[in-house]
Each structure stands twice: as C-alpha cells, then as structure tokens.
Structure 1
C-alpha cells in the first residue's frame, strides 16, 4: 500500500502535465475567426491578395473559409467552388499517377525515361547515368528549372506555344552541368517532362491520365487542364501584383501540362488533401503514402514533396504553386492531424498563411 501511495502523485503529475500540453496546444490553435481575420488583413490591409480560399482538414473534418473576389470588376466573391490555376501543385497529381503506374508494373521508376519516349528523342546524361522517372519526380535529374527555348515573359502565358517537339529539341542540345542524381534542384521542366513520359507510356494525353488515375478515383469533379463551360464560369480571374493587380493572362498548355496545367477548387482539393492525410479511405491511400517516405535507403529525399519541414517541431509536407496571376499552397502534418490548401488569384505567395494555420509558431511574411 505504501508503494502505491508513492506512485499516485507521480501519475497525477504526469496526467496534469499531459492535460496542460493539450490545453496549451488548443490555446495556440487558430480559430476559424482568426483565419478569416487573417484573410481580411491580407486582402484589405496588406493589399497582397484579391481573393483567398482556405480549405482545412483536421479533427473537425473538412471546411472552407474564404474572403475576397474572384473578379474585381464584377465584385464576384470567391468560395469553395471557385476555380484557380494551381501551378506546380500539379506535380503532386503527376506523382500519384506515376506511383500508380509503377505499382501496376506499367513503368519502372529507375528505368531510363528514353525507354518510354518516341524513338529518336535524345535525353542528356553524364557518365552513363541516365535520367529516370524517379530522378524527375525527386528533382535530381540535372535539368534546369525552365528550358532555354521557352518564352520567359513572367505572367504572359509562357507555355501556350511550347510543344513536345520544342521540348525534345531542347533536350537534344542540352549540356548537363552536373551529374544526374547528384543534387536536388527544382525543375518545372522536369515536372512537365515526367507528365509527358507517363502520358506517352499510358497512350493518352495528360488531362486524361490524371482523370483516370487520380481525380476520378478520389471523386474530384472540378480538377482538370481543360475546363467545361460550367467550370470556365467558375474560374477566378488571375491578377498580377507587378501591375498593381491588373488582370493577368491565363496560362494555357499545348503540351507539358505536368509543369503546372491543372485548375481546381478548394472543395475538390480538400478531397485530395484528405486522401493524402489518410483521413479518407480511397484506393490511392497506399499509393500516396509511398510518396511520403524516402524511396532510397540512407536518403531522406521524397518523390514530389522533397522533404519534411521540421521547424517548430512540425512535420509538414508542402507544395507551393504559382503562375502569372495565381498562387497556391497545399500542406499537411499527419503528426497533428491537420492539413490546409490555400488558393489565391494573385501571384503573391500564400505559403506563410498555410504554415501558420498548421502551427502558429510559424511567422507570417512581412
């Protein structure tokens, strides 16, 4: 009995500390009202956004918080069904399609990509180390961020006339600056090339590839490269901060859509987010989980996501997208069971808002 009586205070202390930790976490979490006020500040006070839509997945389920306008002239408000360009977040969909094809033995992740491209396409390499799908997804291919033969006019619509032929022409003459697999260097061109490789292998176009492999299995009906008439009506106008929020041309793709061609809504992206977090049961849960763990022994690098953001004791996987008139961010921390997607119709980063919602220790951009 004496031994038991000595342990009781220790157990009580541990329980008290645990309760205190839970209460402290709850006290620092952002309420929906806090988030809405933050959006209002970003739009009305800071003048760094036109319309913002935030989708959240946490212990309460999924929900949307929005503020601002889809179109300044019409004063049409944004909401969960408003569509935005999502830029490089497109690569997350490409990655899921890639892993799905690998699981079904339709591709091999570490086989040279030239295997899956038309005869005669030359892929640059150094020292007999050839570029693979794994290299493209992990951004260690050695390819540049953008090809040298693409128009780089900021918000002007750089991919509109960029065909697969032009891409292959660039590849045939490109001289590698360092060895394949030797370092991580983000490449939008690599994203586009991976989408091209997978589409070629599947015998279809990129839009259909993503529909068949990702969006249809997840029940996503508002995510696509090519928009229906109804989706076009729901599309937000993009704005360029460089011109004091003048309307920016949409980015159109004739090829290489994997570089950033998808459009989506917050309600649709919440389905993608919840599936990645394992909060919804889908046929792609295992496929998505494989993208969240290192693909090589002794290497912490991940496909698609790159790596975890461990600041402030977090464990966040996130991707940012940006086009001429839009910015976006998707991130989640499975350790705390919280994820966020943010869509904006202005070319100003919103990643700081997303990280702040997941963990209030993250600072906001000044």
Structure 2
C-alpha cells in the first residue's frame, strides 16, 4: 500500500499574531505520524475505507497526507490531486457565493425565495411565515432532508429543476418556518437554484465565477472534462464490502451536493476560511462565521461552533453513495483539516481528532 507525505509551500499571514493566538488556545495536536497510523488503522484493520487524503493547515503551514487507493482493481494510489465527490460540503461554496451576492446588493437574505424563483412556483409557508434564503442556508426552512425518491442509490439523478419545483409545490410543511434546525439537502439544492436563477447562469458557473476562480481553485466544479474524469477516485459502498458504486448525478440540482474537488484545491478554500491566506473572499468568509441576526447564535451554512474540549470548531461533513468528506477549522487554535475519502464511511471523527487530540475516535 502506497502512502505519501506531501509538503506544500505556505505563507502564514501576520505570523507573530497567529502564533500568539495559537499559544493562547493550545489544543493538543496529533503528529503527522499519528495521523498516518489512524488512516492505516481505519483502512487496513477496521476495513472502513479504501483511500483517504488528509489536508492540514496549522502553524507549520499546509501539507497533505495520503494513503490507500483511488481504484482497488487498478491499485492506483490516492494523492493530493485525486478528485472526490464532496457531497454536502458543496453548501459551503454555495454560502460564499450567496454572501458575495448579498454584499453586492444582488440578493437579500430575508426576502422570500419566491423572489428568486421563476414566476408561478408555489412555495409552502406556515402561518404567513415565508421561507427565505437565510432559512434555506441555516436549515430552518422546514423542508425535508431529501426529495421523495431519497431511497434510491442515486437520489438526485434525473431530478431536474422542473421536478424540484413540482416537489416543492406539493410539499406540506410539518412545523413553523424558522422554528427549528433540521438539515436539508433539498434546501441546499433549492438555494443553489435560486442563486443561479438570480445570477442568470448555471450552478457550476456560479461557483466558478464567485468562489473557485477568486481562490485559485483550478479543479473544483460540478462538470469534469475527460482529463479530470481520469483523476476521479472510484466510489465504494461499505454496504457491499466495498463494491464500486456509480457517481451521483445531480442533473440541475447540483447545490444539493454536486461539487468535486481535490485536497490541493480544498486546502486553498480551507486556508482562506482561516484567514491564513489573503484572497478577495476573506471578508466574505468571515461574515459567514458570525451570527447573521441579533440574539441568535445560529450561523448561515456552518450551523454553529463545536465547543467540546475547549475547541471552537466550525465543520461540515459530506457524503454521497461512494464518498465521504469533512472540512473543519478552529481559528483560535490555528488548525484546520480537510479529509476526502472514496468510501461512504464518516471521517469527521478523524478530522476533529486532528484539530484537537482530546476528541475520541469512533470505535
């Protein structure tokens, strides 16, 4: 089994200040050797993975640790340039695009989403409380986790915008809009549609124009050309002892989880969120890390901070039929991580452990 450690060039912004903040919030870290051992244990011993790529940002800079295979039959190893489906982490990119549009006066968070959808689309509401863009992003819309065909191995294949609007028009809310947090991939997809509609483009182009290109991310997107397709890791399902599964096809509902990315690209996104690199989107990202309304600790996109073990972690997990992923960071500790895996087994416990060694691993 091939494993690699890859060091990447990285320049810390305001190094002295960052180091001081790190010292003041000294969460115990995990060494690179320990991280490799954890990955090997998960893949070789626990049989809960096929290939895994870990990208880390901390006081040492940024680097990648990888182990396992992008394709078992070909024995092709994973590395920092291997592409993966990132599932619901797609919503973090949607959120940055949304905030960018809000800063430029193109949208308003608390306007009903009907403002941004084609004329004639019925959107359910509860006691005159209408669903807004903020409700979709903060998962307080009352919409379900997935559409009615969510039992499928590929639940969004063929799920066109027209079908999404049809499903939305017939759905009955089960509780008040804004009254509770319930994660909704359907809401993510609908938000992507609404923003794309307002921007006058498709979702893939929206994300490339507003997020990927400004951050210098060259491979992150929905659609993969022939060259990028060759770099895509094969997805595997743990339900069938790691049998291959087809890639998910989101048709025109890509905001539900349709992006692909690599560790090299995701490190750029992670470092920008941590203010460790200077980009046009630093301020935009910082706004998403703060409550968007007075008296409410809930954040757009990220939900809220994980404060266990004296941490202050923002994180998002993604999962599709044959992939799992996790991105998280603790700016006070000066440490962040992205994990990409081509098996449908959660990796969030590994990510939290890397940020703060006090977090336990799943047994």
User: Shorter-chain TM-score category?
Assistant: over 0.9
Task: Tell me the distance in 1 between the aligned counterparts of 2:73 and 2:80.
Answer: 20
> Under a length normalisation based on structure 1, what TM-score does the superposition of the two structures give?
0.92
Counterpart of 1:152 in structure 2 is: 151
Counterpart of 2:324 in structure 1 is: 327
Q: 1:31: how far off? A: 1.1
Counterpart of 2:294 in structure 1 is: 297
Which one of the candidate residues 177, 181, 185 is aligned to 1:184? 181
Deviations 1:300-351 (A, max 9, x none): 0000000000000000000000000000000000000000000000000000
Q: How do 1:91-240 residues align onto structure 2 when only pairs under 5 Å count?
A: 91-148=91-148, 150-153=149-152, 156-240=153-237
CA contact 2:25–2:333 (8 Å) conserved in 1: no
Task: Tell me the distance in 1 between the aligned counterparts of 2:176 and 2:37.
Answer: 48
Q: 1:29: how far off? A: 2.0
Task: Tell me the distance in 2 between the aligned counterparts of 1:358 and 1:250.
Answer: 30
Task: Tell me the distance in 2 between the aligned counterparts of 1:22 and 1:99.
Answer: 32
Q: 1:253: how far off? A: 1.6
Task: Tell me the distance in 1 between the aligned counterparts of 2:102 and 2:24.
Answer: 44
Distance change in 2, residues 1:217/1:127 (3 Å): same
Counterpart of 2:81 in structure 1 is: 81
Q: How do 1:62-77 residues align onto structure 2 when only pairs under 5 Å count?
A: 62-77=62-77
Task: Tell me the distance in 1 between the aligned counterparts of 2:75 and 2:94.
Answer: 34
Name the count of aligned residue pairs: 343
Q: 1:212: how far off? A: 0.2
Counterpart of 2:4 in structure 1 is: none
Q: 1:85: how far off? A: 0.3
Is the counterpart of residue 270 in structure 1 residue 261 in structure 2? no
Unaligned runs of at least 5 residues, structure 2: 1-21
Q: Secondary structure at the match of 1:220?
A: coil
Q: Based on CA coordinates, which of the two structures has the bigger radius of gyration?
A: 1
Distance change in 2, residues 1:129/1:230 (3 Å): same
Q: Secondary structure at the match of 2:129?
A: coil
Segments ≥4 residues shifted beyond 3 Å: 21-26
Task: Tell me the distance in 2 between the aligned counterparts of 1:167 and 1:32.
Answer: 44
Task: Tell me the distance in 2 between the aligned counterparts of 1:296 and 1:62.
Answer: 34
Counterpart of 1:312 in structure 2 is: 309
Q: Secondary structure at the match of 1:212?
A: helix
Is the counterpart of residue 351 in structure 1 residue 321 in structure 2? no
Q: Secondary structure at the match of 1:340?
A: strand
Deviations 1:281-300 (A, max 9, x none): 00100000000000111100
CA contact 2:193–2:255 (8 Å) conserved in 1: yes
Counterpart of 1:32 in structure 2 is: 32
Q: 1:25: how far off? A: 5.0
Counterpart of 2:243 in structure 1 is: 246
Q: Secondary structure at the match of 1:169?
A: helix
Task: Tell me the distance in 1 between the aligned counterparts of 2:100 and 2:151.
Answer: 33
Deviations 1:26-69 (A, max 9, x none): 8x421111111111111111110000000000011110000000
Q: 1:22: how far off? A: 6.1
CA contact 2:88–2:257 (8 Å) conserved in 1: yes
Q: Secondary structure at the match of 1:57?
A: strand
Counterpart of 1:14 in structure 2 is: none
Task: Tell me the distance in 2 between the aligned counterparts of 1:215 and 1:47.
Answer: 34
Unaligned runs of at least 5 residues, structure 1: 1-20
Q: Secondary structure at the match of 1:290?
A: helix
Q: Secondary structure at the match of 2:126?
A: coil
Counterpart of 1:16 in structure 2 is: none
Q: Secondary structure at the match of 1:342?
A: strand
Q: Secondary structure at the match of 1:255?
A: coil
Distance change in 2, residues 1:25/1:98 (3 Å): closer
Q: Secondary structure at the match of 2:353?
A: helix
- Root-mean-square deviation over aligned CA pairs: 1.5
> Under a length normalisation based on structure 2, what TM-score does the superposition of the two structures give?
0.92
